[in-house]
Structure 1
């Protein structure tokens, strides 16, 4: 049995060794003529030409290996990418309802659903959760890292090549196809003594017939919650005024949720008489538990005494108040199958069909539907969200020769059919019921997260058809031109969309090239964004009273009621449209150095977001209640998804790498920097300083990392420094936001790996080795929160881990 103190001592010692080795050995002579960077690695993302490398690409691509992913402690693929790719950011979001489990991640500061996710080149389905500003993106946490061979991140608009969503770029996850067996077991824990996480995974592959294979992977993780909380001041006062009541300390936990997950992946191929058949898919199951805000018996309306329930006092059930416990149960499954081959006229073809589904069940315990009084249960089934998708593709690729071209051109074309379906199933009657107590101000629905009612439930879908052409034209030995266009038509809104992309690359010499792209793109609204509705409860950070807010369909009853005002007009949703411009330079040499510098500008029109929040009048509340809107009698604020404004995002990506031989070992140095700025150009956000500030400044404009890897004989060392620039947080009060500016932060991660033999390795490491914490969140201190819930980095301090891995 090991202890954290022993691990800390060992890791710090390794860190010292890792710092010394490069210093005493850096003068070692570099081996001549040996290629020591990955610029020659073959890629499949952003191009439909075979044998194109990272160096040959006309757009910036990050190539992330399985070993890089294994250098992080998290079981969540989003966390892994956020530590490696500076332009990719993810937040923790404790006590943010479903977002604490399905966390939004952004590429280049754009919306989470502006990045298209592919697995083996096929579109990945979305999560059932509609997150911040209505974003509905795939849940990367559902994919086991042990199943991944590599990840290619295309940082450029690619809607003309891949369809809707590829405004910011594309993440293509390539599944492992090896026939070996490898696995790992890992234990991690924060230096505060919480957040214990047990992870284990195994991948096994074997040959199928003469040239086929089947590779399966599974991963399991069980993580305990973390808590970076102080006792709430009102809880301290309550305990002092009621010494006979035992009050928990803290009454609510701010931190990562308790979770248990199981992930499975399959990848296979088999040559048949008809062609190469392939089948791959993933399956995931998970359960998580997190706190909600504490309800104070002395100030929370749910505890109000009333003659309607003359013999009922909620203090008899919750004498010390209550913090509702929120549970998520999720299932995720996808299966893709296809057949590909080559015709007698040398046309490569690929026919495929895929199905994906993500479902999320919500439950609430330690809660109450106060409007039901003594008839209310304390545990509730909230309902289920289900997102399902069907994708059918026919892709073709051929070579065309012409005397006008320096070399043969690559021409790709194809068809795609997609169907998306979004479904909400209702919760228990008590979870959304409006009891008689509502007439005297007692809140209805399960407190903290009212259940989905039959009126909020239902199924909606839309389908789309598209056709595309993608051409690479070698105009000369040095100059390549790329052209792509796509037409896509959706059933539920508007006319068809035509997008295009023009790319170019000019090679000044064999080691230096310049590149540029110009493209248009779009993101279509999903059925969930078009038709779903949701109400929730929050806690005002000033008054500490519960308020109920709702997000409703722009084509529903509530929209009709609010649009009766002269200054409000709620409109049906349209597609977001983008224009991307990028230019860059890429360089390499035989000494092991490689670099790229890319400038970009992305303009997005008709940005889909939540509208301005409207305070509901007493008359409007009465009308909503009369129309049987769930919780209508207590709704204080409403908003809607709307296409409301345009934005311009400008930025710079710089990537540097250097690999050399040092003292009989190999030293690899890589660094990446991203500067990203988003400006609101027009719409209601321009004049609304509160909302605009949230939109423009919630994420750091500058992020960077530096990583050093050194391997020699049986020992490998890694050190990574992560930098996050200043950003701005908001409080979320019912009567308007209060802002707080946070400064920059630097975190250092280190690890060491020792080869016990050819098959087994032992690793130990620490993320945030210096146990750094950001500034405290001033405006939320009275809720017991210490560090901001919206931080774009882990605020739990040093995380220490030990891992055993095997491969044979």
Structure 2
């Protein structure tokens, strides 16, 4: 019996050197006569006795040399193959031994004197030089990685040195990777010393990792301690989502990837919402887009220039565009689910999302192609990530292109077209060649073309000092439709230009850029220090096509430049940290101190005159470009503000079981004043496998510079008389005389108090559980007050006195308008049983949350007294429902991911809870019930470095509940009343959406590592 399992080491002898060696030996043997005919057979007749079990070929050859006095000549690469040899022979001829060994090993040999030269053999038995031989197939190496206590470590990165690709451990600490004998495995995880393991004859490895004191800038949100902590050891809940998990979602946009991996995060695409069609508002724990802070490599990321002022989730907020980051550049995403204003600054009321970029060598290629079951919404992605050594440092580069085609889920238009009189309209439709009622609108995803470039550098400049830098640029070209303008809308449509009306488009150009540079190191007294500066910004350009300025008549252009929004931010940080535990006789006592200086810049640039001007105010015709009037010279803004802050963060293991974290932060804003935040977090180990943790903190969110200065006139569809009607809506600055006449007070900061209490447990080596309850009380939340309708006796005179044109029907302004309470529960259970020879990862993750309005703020001029229907003068029921009901109150996800050898399979079911949208008339309120979305995929490694995945998101083609058709109650049956459907055009709600309205999506993707 022969048990053969080959491993090989790298080939160190070049082809030229080997050829020269062969030539020298041949000449030498010929000169001294060893190649005489007949002499070879005498060598091959020599007898050999062997009794060897599972030894390398090199060992076997050495035993033969001892007995026969022959000398083997070979390339080291040739014999260090991936098989072990077992052989038992007694006084057998050398020729028989060699025939048997070389036959199994696909070798040939030649006897020259007392030398036996080993050669590689082709399939046709033609001898070739070893360096021309095909490479050996790598062998699966399995292993288990534990900490010093023998506990398994999940998420450990394992890569083969100087080769692309890699893997990570599951919840049991188990991994499998293809490698050859002599290859070096690099094993690393945050908080432990990296190890390098050289592969020998062992196929199964047991590796113990030693904890390491982390550097100050090791990125792990939630703690600035130099002592690393896992998610079950942290005093606050933190999710760490690897690039592998993000890729497994089948999504290609970072916001959507997080939505299907982090239970407390929701991000849904909006439709018919002006600029918000192009930038998705996101929510953490049911709060607003501007109440979560986004970091990139641990540094503050700038907000967008766009203000969400239309009827969507997050109305009145200014968020951060996660989709401006190339997905191919992301190493992992960390989600801190706890208030962190005292640690990271304003905006971190709901938590922090930290995007960590790749810093490794090798090349990765990602491609994706897919489309909706309905036949539209095709997506194409090509991403390349390449890392190269730069001296002792690393430069990692990313380029990515994404193309998204639009989707359309509009319904059949059932309203009138040419005339408001139904019978007359039917005749006019016939005279004008009929009317296609199914293709009047585009309601769904906007069209987008995205291009990205990113570079991430880390370069040692001395033994204790490193320079680092990150540059990023993205460009997005978008196109989204508005509401159709019908011929009957004579105040908005120039009949000579568009006799059948028109569907206007908002075309966007979005540019993002950022540059980070810093130096970090350690002093002689062991203080870690980090000095960095980051400059970045977002610019949003609006263009309108297929439209008109009705006040210009036939002279109106049909395409318009409508202006730009721009936001830029410069942030400089200085941070110091040191663990003083040894001096205080404590396991750890980490002190972190630092300061930050920030500079915000916001700018509004007017559009061309034709995009905003009313050239004939007395005609009743509406001025400006239909769908999005341009920014006017009176809207122009070029404002700045500065923010300086300082913080202290102390974390200590008081005992082996008791962890305490205390943090405080002071910030000064040049435009509104000072803010102070603090935090206390505790964790106590009840048992080795069970801990309790909790935190209490206060936080703040300063008004964004956008909310101070943004103003414009836009066409918004407001609820008038219970129906959606196009209304020119004026958004005024908070300090505008109109806002003051309506009783809007000066803006001040939002303040919050966060409470959390949870348990963490590892009841078994393959099981982990975290349960965290929380409550977030927020005072003075900043939202858009209104809509104030001109028809109201308290509003009309104010607008008239201010000289506002009569075509403006609605006004709104930013105000600290409500107090809210948010409470909820996060549960994450992970189980990773060994199933056969494969690895199975099971995860159950859930978030339950509820936000309620505790108080609506009145003013001296306008008391907060609701009418009989529950509508406040400046915050009606529709606006209330955006805060309380527009995001799912729960999201539950169960997933299974199985990996065996080359084959992988994933299935995930996500239940999105119910959402609701209210009307100012309670009879028209709607609730959309909970739905379960199922995603599934299978993958196969067609090559050790190439993996193909075929999958489907929303496998069973689930849609949200349709909007209801109400009746007015007149007559025996009543007439159909299309209030919420806008005359049948909307099948699904645009005001509250759980997971979008596009249905099933299938795709194929490929990832390759080189």
TM-score, with length taken from structure 1: 0.90
Aligned counterparts of 1:399 and 1:647: Cα–Cα separation in 2: 39
Residue 783 of structure 1: how far off its partner (Å): 4.6
Check if 1:241 corresponds to 2:428: yes
> What are the within-5 Å matches in structure 2 for residues 312-327 of structure 1?
314-327=494-507
> What are the within-5 Å matches in structure 2 for residues 163-562 of structure 1?
163-210=345-392, 212-234=393-415, 241-243=428-430, 244-245=432-433, 247-248=435-436, 249-273=438-462, 275-303=465-493, 314-401=494-581, 406-436=586-616, 438-494=617-673, 496-539=674-717, 545-560=725-740
Q: Which residue of 1 aligns with 2:152?
A: 35
- Bigger Cα Rg: 2
Q: Which residue of 2 aligns with 1:579?
A: 753
* Count of residue pairs the alignment pairs up: 756
Residue 385 of structure 1: how far off its partner (Å): 0.4
Residue 601 of structure 1: how far off its partner (Å): 0.5
1:130 counterpart SS class: coil
Indicate conservation of the 8 Å contact 2:661/2:681, yes or no: yes
Bigger mean CA offset, 42-51 vs 697-706: 42-51
Deviations 1:286-323 (A, max 9, x none): 011111101111245324xxxxxxxxxx2221121111
Superposition RMSD on alpha carbons, in Å?
Answer: 2.3
Aligned counterparts of 1:528 and 1:686: Cα–Cα separation in 2: 29
Aligned counterparts of 1:623 and 1:245: Cα–Cα separation in 2: 47
Q: Which residue of 2 aligns with 1:756?
A: 942
2:492 counterpart SS class: helix
Check if 1:693 corresponds to 2:898: no
Deviations 1:178-219 (A, max 9, x none): 101001111111111101111110100001102x00001121
Q: Which residue of 1 aligns with 2:106?
A: none
Deviations 1:89-132 (A, max 9, x none): 12221111111111111000111111010001000000001114
1:404 and 1:344, CA in 2 relative to 1: closer, same or farther beyond 3 A?
Answer: closer
Indicate conservation of the 8 Å contact 1:338/1:351, yes or no: yes
Indicate conservation of the 8 Å contact 1:245/1:320, yes or no: no
1:316 counterpart SS class: coil
Aligned counterparts of 1:508 and 1:540: Cα–Cα separation in 2: 56
Task: Indicate which of 685, 702, 721 corresponds to 2:909.
Answer: 721
2:997 counterpart SS class: coil
Indicate conservation of the 8 Å contact 1:763/1:803, yes or no: yes
Q: Which residue of 2 aligns with 1:46?
A: 222
Q: Which residue of 1 aligns with 2:808?
A: 635
Deviations 1:730-764 (A, max 9, x none): 46x8x999421111100100011100011111110
Aligned counterparts of 2:373 and 2:490: Cα–Cα separation in 1: 35
1:756 counterpart SS class: strand
Deviations 1:599-647 (A, max 9, x none): 1010111110111321125996687477565xx3211111111001211
Q: Which ranges of structure 2 fall in alignment gaps of 5 or more residues? A: 1-143, 156-170, 174-188, 191-218, 309-313, 858-863, 872-876, 965-979
Q: Which residue of 2 aligns with 1:769?
A: 955
Indicate conservation of the 8 Å contact 2:738/2:802, yes or no: no
Bigger mean CA offset, 637-646 vs 594-603: 637-646
Residue 242 of structure 1: how far off its partner (Å): 2.1
1:208 and 1:745, CA in 2 relative to 1: closer, same or farther beyond 3 A?
Answer: same
1:724 and 1:262, CA in 2 relative to 1: closer, same or farther beyond 3 A?
Answer: same
TM-score, with length taken from structure 2: 0.72
Bigger mean CA offset, 87-96 vs 346-355: 87-96
1:737 and 1:573, CA in 2 relative to 1: closer, same or farther beyond 3 A?
Answer: farther
Indicate conservation of the 8 Å contact 2:913/2:994, yes or no: no
Aligned counterparts of 2:954 and 2:583: Cα–Cα separation in 1: 59
Aligned counterparts of 1:409 and 1:353: Cα–Cα separation in 2: 28
Aligned counterparts of 2:791 and 2:440: Cα–Cα separation in 1: 33
Q: Which residue of 2 aligns with 1:804?
A: 1006
Q: Which ranges of structure 1 fall in alignment gaps of 5 or more residues? A: 1-29, 304-313
Residue 136 of structure 1: how far off its partner (Å): 0.9
Q: Which residue of 1 aligns with 2:981?
A: 780
Bigger mean CA offset, 74-83 vs 499-508: 74-83
Aligned counterparts of 2:926 and 2:269: Cα–Cα separation in 1: 18
Aligned counterparts of 1:543 and 1:585: Cα–Cα separation in 2: 49
Deviations 1:149-196 (A, max 9, x none): 111100000000001010000001110111010011111111111011
Residue 538 of structure 1: how far off its partner (Å): 3.1
Check if 1:704 corresponds to 2:877: no
Residue 34 of structure 1: how far off its partner (Å): 7.1
1:409 and 1:584, CA in 2 relative to 1: closer, same or farther beyond 3 A?
Answer: same
Q: Higher RCO, 1 or 2 (CA under 8 Å, sep at least 6)?
A: 1
Indicate conservation of the 8 Å contact 2:471/2:515, yes or no: yes
Indicate conservation of the 8 Å contact 2:453/2:473, yes or no: yes
Aligned counterparts of 2:426 and 2:355: Cα–Cα separation in 1: 52
1:242 counterpart SS class: helix
Indicate conservation of the 8 Å contact 1:479/1:506, yes or no: yes
Q: Which residue of 2 aligns with 1:94?
A: 271
Aligned counterparts of 1:551 and 1:302: Cα–Cα separation in 2: 21
Deviations 1:41-68 (A, max 9, x none): 6361111113222222100011101011
1:36 and 1:659, CA in 2 relative to 1: closer, same or farther beyond 3 A?
Answer: farther
Q: Which residue of 2 aligns with 1:105?
A: 282
Residue 589 of structure 1: how far off its partner (Å): 3.9
Residue 395 of structure 1: how far off its partner (Å): 0.3
Residue 693 of structure 1: how far off its partner (Å): 3.1
2:939 counterpart SS class: strand
Q: Which residue of 2 aligns with 1:74?
A: 251
Residue 76 of structure 1: how far off its partner (Å): 1.9
Aligned counterparts of 2:447 and 2:603: Cα–Cα separation in 1: 27
1:486 and 1:545, CA in 2 relative to 1: closer, same or farther beyond 3 A?
Answer: closer
Indicate conservation of the 8 Å contact 1:764/1:802, yes or no: yes
